Structure 1
């Protein structure tokens, strides 16, 4: 990092890139105070800030690698930056400061990506993105009726920036990345042409910069910084994880899938713990032990599935319902977060209350990892599970480590991931047992082996439907999360919004070209079409699983590449085609590794697909064998069973790809 004094201030550069340009007339730093109001309702947050001071720090005094900022020459120093090799460390002599705004130099045609797992906009330029883990919302588009109804009935409509997994990290088309090291509420504002503004509701610890000559090297560096994941387990390549929550009937229905030719790697029964019924739909009984009434002889059935090379997966989250036996055990040991009266804090999760296991208490996290995940799940025979939630830490509880819950809220998903990973490692099953999470924050990838896109609506909507999981995979993948997948068919069915056969089939087509195929019956199974209820849908699903299994040799190479280099399986087109500017804003298509291009059909009724083929390679349409020169857009037929998929003519596995036409 190089500091260069100018007549009116200074510039800060990294490997030739000016990152900060400060002068008295255009200061890079503003500080002040704010009084935030945060209200949580079942994981959804209503947040506003009343700013009482926002003062520019116009005067900067440079001494070696230290920059001291004040309002004017001779005024008290309010903030100090210590410049490292590629870092800025923050110190505030003025203890009244609880808001910081830093401006980063920008260029007019610059693109920025990242922000954790973003579901509406891949290129973040032109918008402001608050970074606070929460429910993403239903509809996520304030102009739609479904979002309005969700807001009115449950404060749960959401907006384009709401996400389970925010992360204060972005990549720039100037081939650098910035990471803000803080757990406080923050925001990235990319609406101005000349600067990006970073807002933090605290004095951050530091800002880290990364620079590289290529996007691939930049992603490799970020994956090293945030943690690389183990390889996909061998059993996953056998086919889809079929999600059924029909009690003991799930096993009989699984046989129907197999009889229809579906390739199956696992049976996922999130209701293995039993059900409770609410107005939202069938909910699980949040006490993480096998329910003998709903799944009699489950341990034996799991063993029988294993003999057929089919794994059994379940469900867990970091809360315990107040009417379950594990709650009593945890409360007697003092493992729950406390309320203002130093009693167990109870959280309303929608017609039932739960305690929050306090993972800042080492004994509590050890107990959950061993007693719940280790003994009740892994030792019972589970090979994986959905590690749900993580974004619900209330901001008014008292935690064992003494840190304000508002500062621990964003950190909570990473602690939750660590508890799961510790349990898996304790049984020597890292890389074999597979848990998947929707919530995240900085460092989650070091512990969580697989992301899933959360609770999309069961539709084709622009901000909450099928297309959003592509954006989610691309944005999170750039930050080192190599593996991503989603609920085939979506999850949330409210206000009469139900699945169609077309939606299920188009979603399965996309899932066949992702690291993991997994279906879900959704929050209202009885009201929504299920894969095994329609012969055409079931036959289509079987073919998609055959495609997934056929491509397993290729997926294995991508998994190995993720381990060795941290590259995601699903990649933005520009990652391998930096010289093609048309690829920089594409978010509804992706590279599957370097050698395949997938453009799922994501609009209802669409029968063809226009796709930009990146320059520099010859691309072959997977279903017709027709070759196209890269560097232009082409339109191809995309009927059901034939999503727009291309492969590079010179790919090492071109023969494997060509045989897709015979499936």
Structure 2
């Protein structure tokens, strides 16, 4: 084990004799000669886990850490935590299908001070084994088990930059992903001056779970901050910031079966409303007249449209990063006059309206024109989180501060649901972005519980509130919301995810490539319906400054938008976003050629609808994602294990997007099968091989399995595929 591991030079001591126990289908073996504990599912001959021989597999300590918040980012400053290095196993008891191991933790065998620990194992069903670790007088638990040196580890929620996290050490904490995330020198500037650069491991929607290439899986039931250490090629270490650790191990013969088992815990996402994927969802701002004029432009190019997403329905404000919104959740009738007339005009064309909400509130006094002051209402009822002085805790966003709803208060949850019903649903919208949810500070005072217990739970409850408001209004299955923050159980409540704010760049750290990685990793974590802002969101040019600084000033270029449009047509949801600096970013209506390109891929997205809805039904029933890691269908082909920039749409389409500028040819991997190139109709009889194809603008790498339903579906209109 590596030197910086918590378990380095640790030891396991026991006089308990070797024994074998049967917990349903699970065979649990304790080997006293090797000082090793192992569990195997004997029905499928798959090992769930094995502890390192002779080394401690569970340690506990009392630690101190300060977790500081800034703009939704968190810095963990931990005083050195000392873990005792000797684990003693003193007894093993088996009764009523529950297996209990007990012992003490000591600095050494001669030490007088000790801390008792226990491990309980029991079968949940024929696939899942539940383990419960506890130790006395501690707030840190560390658990270690063996891994194969070549074993790949995927999942961990929505990971945006690295798909296979073997060899990495990283936190599981819902937070802003960052601006740059390793793109330099931008990240250094953002971290130095704003603490907002993030890292490769920052995520809005992480989760303490994984699947591996050995077809086994793990999911923790805990909500507290935790860290995984996979830097040692032969072991996995999970450190959880609590005095207990409840988790599940499972294994399966096939990868898709692993996802079915995993999503029993995470929950599964429902089929989207029928209207939602009939065409593009157009994200624009600017008021009623602009929506009407934009619609005319889109109709001139025969763009199929399912909705207009108007995030500025509450009015706009200018901030340090560009244009943002007034977080007082009511319709701004000066900004959107004739709202109902506009809605009725669109609905007559089967186009719907969508809007926006988040769990923050700002005092609208500065805005001036408002009917309800939701900030004041929430403050008077005690529905906002408080600081240590008992005052409303104001959290800095960009150049303004906002108050965060206290979702640990059941009455606050009831109140914000009423706001959703009275303020959003009453306007006739069919959906909204349910933004944020990551920013709960660790020094906040809550109605119940602690921030340590609530921080990662907050995104789950935020999604639950939105879903319940829809159900209580009698609109389940007709209205959707999409959220970016999440944790383990978020798929149980969310109707749709999006991947947050990607940099308008080509980078894998933060940009179009990170959007592809995020889709694949989230799909392996139970998030079956996910998508991104077409073209990216974050521009880093200085507002009102005409010059750009190389490698610092990013904004959406024309080619980037073209390529982002292409790959988004093969995902769950086809939605545009103007970005944080609309005037600097190239938009879909920049010229006729660009708009024609957008119309073509919106039609391809529309044409894929029957196939995509079948995939949605699979997602709801089995937890299978729409965008899939190729390993899910080709688990015996090691070449696909580390493919992180190409994916499958269901089981019948291979998608290899063009993710670099100035590219005319594309190298990609075709797994075994007869694959029809979507654009030339050439059939490639592949045994699993790398190929190079022509991939000019308008022709990303897309291959359809010959003779399948989707192959027949896409051959109906050759005009789209020339």
User: What pairs with 1:142-221 in structure 2 (closer than 5 Å)?
Assistant: 144-221=184-261
1:596 correspondence with 2:653: yes
Partner of 2:588: 531
C-alpha displacement of 1:454:
0.6
User: What pairs with 1:113-152 in structure 2 (closer than 5 Å)?
Assistant: 113-141=154-182, 144-152=184-192
Partner of 1:393: 440
**3-state DSSP of counterpart to 2:79:** strand
Q: Tell me the distance in 2 between the aligned counterparts of 1:134 and 1:204.
A: 23
**3-state DSSP of counterpart to 1:656:** helix
1:3 correspondence with 2:28: yes
C-alpha displacement of 1:470:
1.4
Partner of 2:13: none
1:609 correspondence with 2:670: no
User: In 2, are the aligned partners of 1:180 and 1:204 still within 8 Å (CA)?
Assistant: no
Partner of 2:316: 275
1:355 correspondence with 2:403: yes
Tell me, which stretches of 5 or more residues in structure 1 are unaligned? none
Match of 2:330 among 282, 285, 289: 289
User: In 1, are the aligned partners of 2:675 and 2:704 still within 8 Å (CA)?
Assistant: yes
1:444 correspondence with 2:490: yes
Q: Tell me the distance in 2 between the aligned counterparts of 1:550 and 1:123.
A: 33
User: In 1, are the aligned partners of 2:667 and 2:693 still within 8 Å (CA)?
Assistant: yes
1:494 correspondence with 2:540: yes
Partner of 1:341: 389
Tell me, which stretches of 5 or more residues in structure 2 are unaligned? 1-25, 94-98, 124-128, 366-372, 542-552
**3-state DSSP of counterpart to 1:347:** strand
User: In 2, are the aligned partners of 1:133 and 1:409 still within 8 Å (CA)?
Assistant: yes
Once structures 1 and 2 are overlaid, which stretch shifts more, 562-571 or 648-657?
648-657
Alignment RMSD = 1.6
Match of 2:466 among 383, 399, 420: 420
Encode CA deviations 1:47-86: one digit per residue, 9 max, x unaligned: 2322231222432123221112323669644321111120
Q: Tell me the distance in 2 between the aligned counterparts of 1:247 and 1:395.
A: 39
Once structures 1 and 2 are overlaid, which stretch shifts more, 62-71 or 38-47?
62-71
Q: Tell me the distance in 2 between the aligned counterparts of 1:69 and 1:247.
A: 67
**3-state DSSP of counterpart to 1:179:** strand
Match of 2:116 among 58, 72, 78: 78
Q: Tell me the distance in 2 between the aligned counterparts of 1:367 and 1:523.
A: 30
User: In 2, are the aligned partners of 1:624 and 1:661 still within 8 Å (CA)?
Assistant: no
User: In 1, are the aligned partners of 2:213 and 2:635 still within 8 Å (CA)?
Assistant: no
C-alpha displacement of 1:661:
3.7
C-alpha displacement of 1:330:
1.4
Match of 2:531 among 485, 488, 494: 485
User: In 2, are the aligned partners of 1:595 and 1:648 still within 8 Å (CA)?
Assistant: yes
Encode CA deviations 1:365-392: one digit per residue, 9 max, x unaligned: 011012x211111121011111000001
User: What pairs with 1:450-529 in structure 2 (closer than 5 Å)?
Assistant: 450-495=496-541, 496-529=553-586
Q: Highest Rg: 1 or 2?
A: 2
User: In 2, are the aligned partners of 1:212 and 1:218 still within 8 Å (CA)?
Assistant: yes
User: In 2, are the aligned partners of 1:456 and 1:492 still within 8 Å (CA)?
Assistant: yes
**3-state DSSP of counterpart to 1:314:** strand
User: In 2, are the aligned partners of 1:383 and 1:434 still within 8 Å (CA)?
Assistant: yes
**3-state DSSP of counterpart to 1:267:** strand
C-alpha displacement of 1:22:
4.8
**3-state DSSP of counterpart to 1:533:** coil
Q: Tell me the distance in 1 between the aligned counterparts of 2:408 and 2:495.
A: 22
Q: Tell me the distance in 2 between the aligned counterparts of 1:62 and 1:652.
A: 58
TM-score, scaled to structure 1: 0.96
Encode CA deviations 1:436-455: one digit per residue, 9 max, x unaligned: 01100010001111110110
Q: Tell me the distance in 1 between the aligned counterparts of 2:48 and 2:651.
A: 31
C-alpha displacement of 1:658:
2.9
Q: Tell me the distance in 2 between the aligned counterparts of 1:378 and 1:501.
A: 36
C-alpha displacement of 1:660:
5.6
User: In 2, are the aligned partners of 1:3 and 1:10 still within 8 Å (CA)?
Assistant: no
Q: Tell me the distance in 2 between the aligned counterparts of 1:114 and 1:192.
A: 18
C-alpha displacement of 1:652:
2.7
